[in-house]
C-alpha cells in the first residue's frame, strides 16, 4: 500500500503541507564574547531599515540600535545592520564578537571573502575589514529566535532615523523579549516535514 502511494505521488501531495514544530532559542555567547543579533526590515513602500542588539555572555544588553535606510534591498538592509553592529563593537573595544543574523544570504556573504553584488560591495568591504581586526564568527538563526533584533529594525522604520540606545535605557515590550531570550525561552517554528 505505502509503495503504491509513493509511486503515484499521492503520499507526496498529502505530506508536503505537513509541518513539524521545532523549538528555536537564542543562545548566549561564551564568556569574554559579545553577541550581535541584527535584522533588516523591508516594507511594501520599498523603504528599508535595520537594527540590532549587542549582548554579553550573561545575556545582558550593552546596546540596541536602529537606522532607517530609505530605498534599498532587504539584503543591503541586513548587511548595513551587521556593519553598524560591528562598528559599535569596535568603537567600544569589544574584539570577540559572534554575529547572528536571520538572513542566510547575509551570513554567507559575511563568512566569505566574496565581494557580492555591486550594490552591497562597499558594505561587505567594511564588514571584512572588521573581520581582519577582530575575532568574529557569523551564524544563522531563525527569525523566531531573532525577535529583539526584529523589534529594533521595525523601530528604525517607524522612527525614520538612527539611534543607539544603552542597554539600561531600553524600555517597553522589547524588555520582555530580552528577558525571554535571557531565560532561553523557546519560540516554535513550523518546518515542512514528512511522515515517512
Per the model's pLDDT, the better-predicted residue between 97 and 17 turns out to be: 97
Per the model's pLDDT, the better-predicted residue between 126 and 22 turns out to be: 126
- Nearest alpha-carbon partner for 58 in 29, 85, 80, 96: 29
Is 11 a residue whose pLDDT tops 70?
A: no
- Average pLDDT score over the chain: 89
Is 107 a residue whose pLDDT tops 80?
A: yes
**What is the CA 16 to chain-centroid distance, rounded?**
27
* Domain ranges, ordered by start, for the chain: 19-192
Bridge partners of 20, per DSSP, are: 191
Is 116 a residue whose pLDDT tops 70?
A: yes
Task: Provide, rounded to the nearest whole percent, the portion of the chain with pLDDT above 70.
Answer: 88
98: Cα within 13 Å, side-chain hemisphere: 18
- Nearest alpha-carbon partner for 81 in 115, 127, 43: 127
Phi-psi sector, 15: left (phi>0), alpha (psi -120 to 50), beta: alpha
Q: What is the pLDDT of residue 5?
A: 45
The mean pLDDT of 94-120, rounded to a whole number, is: 90
The architecture CATH gives domain 19-192: 2-Layer Sandwich (3.30)
Q: What is the pLDDT of residue 13?
A: 54
Amino acid at each position: 500500500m505505502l509503495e503504491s502511494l509513493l509511486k503515484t505521488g499521492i503520499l507526496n501531495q498529502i505530506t508536503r503541507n505537513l509541518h513539524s514544530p521545532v523549538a528555536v532559542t537564542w543562545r548566549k555567547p561564551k564568556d569574554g564574547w559579545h553577541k550581535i543579533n541584527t535584522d533588516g526590515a523591508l516594507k511594501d513602500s520599498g523603504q528599508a531599515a535595520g537594527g540590532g542588539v549587542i549582548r554579553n555572555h550573561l545575556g545582558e544588553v550593552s546596546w540596541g540600535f536602529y537606522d532607517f535606510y530609505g530605498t534599498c534591498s532587504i539584503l543591503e538592509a541586513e548587511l548595513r545592520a551587521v556593519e553598524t553592529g560591528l562598528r559599535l563593537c569596535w568603537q567600544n573595544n569589544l574584539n570577540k564578537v559572534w554575529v547572528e543574523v536571520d538572513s542566510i544570504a547575509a551570513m554567507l556573504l559575511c563568512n566569505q571573502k566574496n565581494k557580492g553584488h555591486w550594490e552591497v560591495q562597499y558594505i561587505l568591504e567594511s564588514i571584512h575589514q572588521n573581520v581582519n581586526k577582530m575575532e568574529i564568527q557569523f551564524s544563522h538563526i531563525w527569525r523566531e529566535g531573532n525577535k529583539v533584533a526584529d523589534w529594533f529594525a521595525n523601530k528604525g522604520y517607524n522612527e525614520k532615523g538612527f539611534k543607539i540606545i544603552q542597554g539600561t535605557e531600553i524600555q517597553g515590550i522589547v524588555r520582555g523579549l530580552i528577558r525571554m531570550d535571557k531565560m532561553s525561552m523557546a519560540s516554535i517554528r513550523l518546518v515542512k516535514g514528512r511522515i515517512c
